[in-house]
Each structure stands twice: as structure tokens, then as C-alpha cells.
Amino acid sequence: MKKILFFLILMGLFYEVISQSFTIEQISSYPFPSELTTSQTGNSIAWAMNEQGLRNIYISQEPEYAPKNITSFDKDDGQEITSLQFSNDGKFIVFVRGGEHGSNWNYDAGINPASETNIPKVAIWKVSLENGKAEMLTEGDNPIISPDSKTIAFLKNRQIWTIPVAEGKASQHFEVKGSINSFQWSPDGKQILFELNRGTHSLIGIYSDHDRPIQWIEPSFQRDVSPKWSLDGKMIAFVRLPGGKSEPHPILEQRHSPWEIWVADAASGSGSSRWKSPETLMGSVPTTHGRFNLHWAAENQLVYLSYEDGWPHLYTMDPFSGPSKQLTKGQFMVEHINLSHDKSKIFFSANTGSDKLDIDRRHIGMVNLKDDQMVMLTEGEGIEAIPVALSDNQKIAFFSATSQRPMLPAILDIPTKEIKLIATDLIPSDFPDNLVVPKQVIFKSSDGMVIHGQIFEKPGGSSKKPGVVFVHGGPQRQMLLGWHYGDYYSNTYAVNQYLAEMGFVVLSVNFRLGIGYGYEFHKAPRTYWQGAEEYLDVKAAGEYLASLENVDENRIGIYGGSYGGYLTALALGKDSGLFKVGVDIHGVHELSSRLKLQDGFEQAPDYTKALKIAWLSSPLAYLDTWTSPVLFIHGDDDRNVQVSQTTDLIRRFDEKKKPYEYLIIPDDSHHWMKHSNLIKVNKETAEFLNKHLNQK
């Protein structure tokens, strides 16, 4: 009898393994492209490709656009590539290697996920496109090549340095009190415009040479940001935000966050406000990709993005007269905005198109400033995002994916509408080709909020499958009906596909506070430490999953990272009866540090009420009802969510003698910079859910 039982178990396990057609390593082996950029001439493109932790640069040129690898970094050492750019003369490319630029703090400090005995530096590199030589030039970050291609300006210790492109030594370009946030060469390359943070306020200045003092642009006690040279170098446009610290307003009330667009004369520094945001909640500072997206365009027009009609849309204005004109309209968001080389066209990603499912996709759109008409350039069931114009102004490059294929660069010839996919052979030969197609589902939360989600389910298998809710982070994010354009969410898309392959029914929930569904959804009230009402959407997702005929309501799990880790912990604390197991990846748990409750002897009028609500919005308030098994995961060089958020919660579990499992990743960050760490996290996440939900 025992032998028969043993044989049956063995066959069951064998069936499980054999019925899985790919491993976590295989589904996580997708190459991830980023930093897409184009040359000023020659219709060339360049991008960074992360191939299982080996990050290198590829370029491709018309007419074939065959990808050519121009660097040879051959270690999975977690050193990312950023600030990729061509020189105007087309002779070389510059980039930064190292750092963790997706961080909220210390992004320009070296990251060392391989735990080497010397922490890698953040350095500026140059690759000659004439002889192929790649060389590290200097420590530094945020390089910008001068218009004449002779000098590279960069930031070091928040000051501007320069290095001659030919043999030369880096030197500080000038000294100024404060921290320089950004800078831009003038069109003629003779001056540098910079944004300077001085703590309570920000100034905009122009450096010309050592003999002339800095020219301040309309200095004030406000916070002036996002300065941009006009195309002729005579004017400066910038955004003005309130400076200093306000009185302690009510914490639980949503408030308008004002902004203005100013234009000043570059020579004299004098200027004036040309546009004020509507004094409504929707007129507040936009918080989607690129924020204001302030650009000078052809015919000396100013282009910017505003949320004022309830959706992130493009507007244009005359910098002198001021009235604005809305360029994009409709119930969709505009994202990843870039202008053509001649500044006559604006390209962008948008979740709109002829198919009602397009709200959960991205396609490429264009506005031609000659007639202000908007057209969609791509359509269909794929995901297209992050467009950049090629130098002939007839083509664009972008990142393209489907539900089956991960992101790759592609080129669209606008007149012929022909799309050419590039670097397809960089997808490993054993990469799975039988993924599930995520299905759009729409359901309501208990308060009536309409929620979108994606169901991942492999056909066949058990009649009653275990279910898993995936909760994204951000929270200003949107999961899509295909591979995602962000690296973090390309990885979670891979994990969801793997969980479906293991026999789970996965529901990825686009909870309120996410983007893509308008202002009221993105900026919903009483959320996070103000009441956590976004958790209603996560609970509704669990209940929706449990209600499905083919899902076992007693085997529902949950996992999520960062903000998704916060909501995973809240779910396990508040509803262990619904969520039977969870994986909390670098989650947020202690919320009081997130809100400035008291300042000096002044208190917000709703201070006491806000403190109580913040506590009840925190997973810490529900430890006694938290009975479901949990795996905690955190990298201890996390620069988005302090590792203390997990160490402190584990301390409370220990003191309460509550069981848990854990995985700490020494020296890695919020983004699993080392591929082998990413595999370890993905594998332990899947195995923990499998152990508790999927064992026969």
C-alpha cells in the first residue's frame, strides 16, 4: 500500500513538473530594453539592453537596423546604464554606468548587489562610433554633451563639472551655493542654464563664463523648476511652485497644488507669469510621467501637460499672449512625451484606440503642430510605448510588446505605417512561446469604484484552482494586457505568467491611486495613511477571484511589492479569512513617518483624527488578526522603501511569537539589480505560494 501511495505521489509530482512547460529562469530570461535614444543625423537609434543581468548598449541604423552591440560588460553585477545619448556630430555615444536611478534617495551613490569588496562607482563612459573604443571618462552622473560635441558637462556632488571629449581632465565648471538639480546647454553651447535647490526655495541661473556673474532668472522666494531654453536661445520658460513651508493645513483634506508657467528674457533675467493652473484639484501639479512636460516647440510655442480636464492631456500656448489650446482630448492619458527633431510634432504613448480594451494597453499617438491634429499611429492588441523621433522626422522608434513577446525596440515609418521589430534574436531560444493571454476583467469595490484587472489562467488543469491576487506598487502605475514597459512590472508580468503555468488563477488588480483611469481614480480621497480605501479594491479582487467557478475560494493567496507589499500586509492583517497566504516584498508598514503631523508648536487642526486614521491604515494595527502564513522579502540597500519597514515588522512578529518566513537580499535595492537575486526572489515567491496553496 505504501509503495502504491509513494508511486502515486511521485506520479503527481512528475505530472506537476511535466505539466509545467517552462521554468522561472526561462520566463525571467527576457531581455529588457531601456534608454531608447536617436542620433541627430543618420536615423540611428541606441538603447540599453539588460540580458539576464548583463547590461550593454546596442545601436542600429537605417536601412536594415540590424542591432550592433557596442559594449561588452559581461558580469551580472547590477550596474545599470542610464543617460544614454549620441553626440550631435554622431561620432560617439555617452552613458552612465552604475548607481540606482529608480531610487527615491541616494540614486547617484554606487550600488553593490554583487557584494564586491570595492563598491562600484557611478561613472561616465564614452564609446567611439568610429573605432568602437569604450572608455570610462570620469566619476559623475547626468552627463550632457555640448552642442558642438567637444565638451561633456555632468553633475558631481550636485555641482556642474565638465570634461573635454578629447583627452582631458574633468574640472568643476563653476561654484554655486546649493544643489543643482538639472541643467541644459544653450542652443549655441556658450551658456549653461541650471535649476538650483537652496532648500526653502529654488533659483534658475545662467552660467556664461568666469568673468561674468551668474545671471539669475526672476529670482524669488518660490520654487522655480524645469527651466527650458527657447529654440533661439533668447528666452527661458520655467515652472513656478510655492516655496517655503505653509501653515499646518488639515491633513485629511485634499488641497490644490498650484503651479504657473513663466517666461523670461535670457539676457536680462526679467520675465512674468504667462499661465496659472486652474485653482481646482484637477488643476494641481500633474504627477504622471514627466510631470509638467514643459517643452519649447516650433513657431516658438510652449507645450505642456495638465490634468485639468480630469485626464493627463497636452496643451500649447503662445509664450507672450498666454491663452492655452488643448491638443489632446478624451478619456485617456497621454504619457512618455517626446518632440520631433524639428519640434513640429509631438509623440506620446496613450491608452486609447479603436478597441475598448485599449484603456488597458498603450499605443503611440502624434500631434502635428502645423494643424494641431492628433492621430494614433499604432493600434491592435500589442503594447507600444516610449516613442522617440528619428532624425528624418518621418520615423519613430519605440518599445513594442505583446501578451506573448516581451518589450523590444521597433521602428515605425509614419507615411507607410510599416513597423520593423528590432533585435528579435536577443530573446533566448528557450524563452516560452506559449504564454497565457491576460483577460481584462472589470468589477466593483464595495463603495462602487469600478476596478480593472487582468486574469492569467492556463487552460485545462484542475476544476478548482488556487487563486492569487497580484498588487502592483507605485501606486501611480497601471498593469496592462501584455508585457509592461517598466522593468519592475515586466518582471511581475513574468511571475504572473509563471504562477498561471503552475496552475494558479492570477488576478492582477489595478486598484485606485493607479494611472490610466482619470483624476478621480488616480487621486481618490481617504487613501494610504488617510484611510486606505484603496484596500477595498484589493479585497474586492480577492472576493471576485473566490467567486469564480473554477477557483477554490479556500485557496486564495496574495503578493505584491512596495506599495503592493503594503496592501498585501494590510490584506493579511485585516482578512486572513479571505487571503490564506501572502508574500510581502519590500512593503511599507509604519506610516506615521510618511505624514508630517506636527511641526514645532503648531498642529494640523485634524491632527488627532489623522493620527488615529493613519494607525488604522497601517498593517501594524492588525497583527493580532493576522493569522495567514507570510514570506517577507527585502533588499537591505533599498532606496525606495527603508529596509527598516520590514526589520521592524519582523521584530513585532518575533515579540508576538508569530510565525513567518523571510528572505533578505544583502546589498541589493528595490529593483533587484542583480539578475540572480531577481530569480531568487521570483522563485521563493512562487514556491511559498505553491507550498501553501497548490500542494495536492
Name the site residues for ligand L6A2BGLM (rule: CB under 6 A). Answer: 104, 473-474, 477, 488, 561-563, 588, 640-641, 670
Question: Please, what is the minimum distance in Å from the beta carbon of residue 539 to ligand L6A2BGLM?
Answer: 19
| 685: exposed, middle or buried (Cβ count in 10 Å: 0-12, 13-18, 19+) | buried
φ/ψ region of 256 (left if φ > 0, alpha if ψ in -120 to 50, else beta) reads beta
Using the minimum distance from each CB to ligand L6A2BGLM, give the nearer residue, 439 or 526.
Answer: 526
Q: What is the CA radius of gyration of the chain?
A: 26
Using the minimum distance from each CB to ligand L6A2BGLM, give the nearer residue, 366 or 665.
Answer: 665
DSSP string, 83-150: EEEE-TTSSEEEEEESS-TT-SS-TTS---TT--SSPPPPEEEEEETTT--EEEEEE-EEEEE-TTSS
Question: Please, what is the minimum distance in Å from the beta carbon of residue 636 to ligand L6A2BGLM?
Answer: 16
Q: How many CB atoms lie within 10 A of CB 652?
A: 14
Using the minimum distance from each CB to ligand L6A2BGLM, give the nearer residue, 303 or 479.
Answer: 479
Question: Please, what is the minimum distance in Å from the beta carbon of residue 594 to ligand L6A2BGLM?
Answer: 7
Q: How many CB atoms lie within 10 A of CB 219?
A: 14
Q: Give the three-class secondary structure for 654.
A: helix
**Residue 523: closest CA among 531, 532, 514:** 514
From the DSSP assignment, how many helices (H) and strands (E) are in the chain?
A: 9, 42
- What's the rounded Cα separation, in Å, for the pair 591 and 672? 24
Q: Where are the alpha helices (DSSP H) in 462-527?
A: 487-501, 519-522
C-alpha cell at 351: 491608452
Partners of 325 in beta bridges = 316
Instruction: Tell me phi and psi for residue 487, to 5 degrees.
Output: -65, -45
**Peptide bond just before 63 cis, omega within 30 deg:** yes
Question: Please, what is the minimum distance in Å from the beta carbon of residue 391 to ligand L6A2BGLM?
Answer: 33
Using the minimum distance from each CB to ligand L6A2BGLM, give the nearer residue, 233 or 474.
Answer: 474
Question: Please, what is the minimum distance in Å from the beta carbon of residue 685 to ligand L6A2BGLM?
Answer: 14
Using the minimum distance from each CB to ligand L6A2BGLM, give the nearer residue, 414 or 538.
Answer: 538
**Cα 335 from chain centroid?**
12
Using the minimum distance from each CB to ligand L6A2BGLM, give the nearer residue, 218 or 537.
Answer: 537
Using the minimum distance from each CB to ligand L6A2BGLM, give the nearer residue, 261 or 665.
Answer: 665
Question: Please, what is the minimum distance in Å from the beta carbon of residue 582 to ligand L6A2BGLM?
Answer: 16
> What's the order of all strands across the beta sheet hosting 68-69?
31-38, 44-51, 54-61, 68-69
Question: Please, what is the minimum distance in Å from the beta carbon of residue 285 to ligand L6A2BGLM?
Answer: 17
C-alpha cell at 197: 535647490
Using the minimum distance from each CB to ligand L6A2BGLM, give the nearer residue, 404 or 647.
Answer: 647
Question: Please, what is the minimum distance in Å from the beta carbon of residue 489 to ligand L6A2BGLM?
Answer: 7
**Peptide bond just before 466 cis, omega within 30 deg:** no
Question: Please, what is the minimum distance in Å from the beta carbon of residue 424 to ligand L6A2BGLM?
Answer: 28
Question: Please, what is the minimum distance in Å from the beta carbon of residue 633 to ligand L6A2BGLM?
Answer: 13
Using the minimum distance from each CB to ligand L6A2BGLM, give the nearer residue, 366 or 532.
Answer: 532
Question: Please, what is the minimum distance in Å from the beta carbon of residue 611 to ligand L6A2BGLM?
Answer: 19
Contact (Cβ atoms closer than 8 angstroms) between residue 194 and residue 175? no
C-alpha cell at 119: 563598491
Using the minimum distance from each CB to ligand L6A2BGLM, give the nearer residue, 259 or 563.
Answer: 563
Using the minimum distance from each CB to ligand L6A2BGLM, give the nearer residue, 287 or 373.
Answer: 287
Using the minimum distance from each CB to ligand L6A2BGLM, give the nearer residue, 365 or 486.
Answer: 486
Question: Please, what is the minimum distance in Å from the beta carbon of residue 649 to ligand L6A2BGLM?
Answer: 14
Contact (Cβ atoms closer than 8 angstroms) between residue 301 and residue 319? yes
Using the minimum distance from each CB to ligand L6A2BGLM, give the nearer residue, 367 or 585.
Answer: 585
Contact (Cβ atoms closer than 8 angstroms) between residue 196 and residue 176? yes
- What's the rounded Cα separation, in Å, for the pair 489 and 585? 13
C-alpha cell at 638: 533599498
**Peptide bond just before 409 cis, omega within 30 deg:** no
- What's the rounded Cα separation, in Å, for the pair 329 and 108? 38
Question: Please, what is the minimum distance in Å from the beta carbon of residue 632 to ligand L6A2BGLM?
Answer: 16
